[in-house]
């Protein structure tokens, strides 16, 4: 059941269109976030042991795909009524869910280069289009100024990147950190200029990312393997949002993450 009214959904979507992101405070319950945090740590440790040396997102910063089964296939998260209402206003009610993963800086991480998470659809055009790819981000711990908050230059998502960078350097835009509490969620247009910051604490700072996009957008490096047993229990709405992902007999352990090029 939605927590917000239709008018509030419109307002959240309008804020995302204006700023490139919107934050819904305290949206997910503490016990759910704690369960995800506890279940995530073994996945993180396994990932670091297997391919932590790649450091494709920077030193001591790890991208880990989550298996779409059990606790991770929770419809009250990816199929949340408020989330889908806002997402639908941004990328269409016929959009797709295409990503379920995490980004986790640890002590030793550094500032990333300022970047976008996707290239422009038409680089020769010299200007941007309406939204076509979104990230739903929510942390599994409180995000403070010390443990690696994302920094975003609000309003840069609708500008050509070179223009946005020049205006950022000129002081027309400000790269600002956004601490979040566990349970908060952010819906973000991935074209906004942003960067990860250092985690200067001894605890990992996992941030979940669920990707939603226009129905026609395919990025082969991100996908969700949907186990057949999980698929059979999905609602018709969930099946529609997941319709372009492969249905598999079981989720196989990944030899390596394939989403290596992420910065544009």
The string of pLDDT tens digits covering residues 20-70 is 999 999 999 999 999 999 999 999 999 999 887 877 788 999 999 999 999
Q: How far is CA 163 from CA 103, 135, 167, 168, 172, in A?
A: 28, 23, 6, 9, 11
Residue 60 CB neighbours (<10 A): 19
Handedness of CA 224, 98, 234, 141 (dihedral sign): positive
With the C-alpha atoms ordered 149, 186, 129, 259, is the resulting torsion angle positive or negative?
A: positive
Of 37, 137, 152, residue with least CA distance to 87: 137
Measured from the Cβ of residue 139, the count of other Cβ atoms closer than 10 Å reads 27
Alpha carbons 106 and 162: distance in angstroms, whole number = 30
User: Which domains does the chain possess?
Assistant: 46-248 (2.60.120.620)
Q: Percentage of the chain surpassing pLDDT 70? A: 100
pTM: 0.95
Q: Which pLDDT score, from 0 to 100, does residue 259 have?
A: 77
Q: Which residues of the chain have pLDDT under 70?
A: 255
Query: For the CA atoms of the chain, what is the radius of gyration?
Result: 18
In sequence order, what are the residues at sequence separation of 6 or more whose Cβ sits closer than 8 angstroms to the Cβ of residue 124?
A: none
């Amino acid at each position: 059941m939605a927590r917000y009214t239709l008018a509030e959904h419109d307002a959240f979507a309008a804020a995302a269109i204006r700023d490139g992101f919107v934050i819904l405070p305290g949206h997910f319950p503490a016990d759910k976030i704690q369960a995800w945090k506890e279940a995530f740590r073994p996945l993180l440790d396994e990932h670091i042991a297997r391919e932590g040396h790649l450091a494709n997102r920077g030193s001591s910063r790890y991208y880990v795909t989550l298996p779409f089964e059990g606790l991770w296939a929770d419809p009250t998260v990816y199929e949340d009524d408020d989330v889908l209402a806002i997402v639908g206003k941004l990328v269409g009610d016929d959009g797709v869910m295409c990503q379920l993963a995490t980004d986790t800086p640890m002590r030793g991480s550094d500032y990333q280069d300022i970047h976008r998470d996707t290239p422009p659809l038409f680089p020769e055009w010299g200007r941007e289009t309406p939204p076509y790819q979104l990230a739903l981000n929510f942390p599994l711990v409180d995000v403070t100024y010390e443990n690696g908050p994302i920094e975003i230059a609000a309003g840069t998502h609708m500008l050509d990147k070179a223009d946005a960078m020049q205006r950022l350097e000129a002081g027309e835009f400000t790269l600002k950190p956004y601490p979040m509490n566990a349970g908060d969620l952010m819906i973000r247009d991935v074209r906004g200029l942003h960067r990860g910051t250092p985690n200067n604490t001894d605890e990992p700072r996992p941030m979940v990312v669920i990707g939603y996009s226009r129905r026609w957008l395919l990025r082969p490096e991100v996908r969700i393997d949907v186990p057949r047993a999980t698929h059979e229990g999905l609602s018709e709405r969930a099946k529609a949002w997941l319709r372009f992902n492969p249905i598999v007999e079981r989720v196989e352990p990944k030899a390596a993450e394939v989403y290596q090029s992420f910065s544009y």
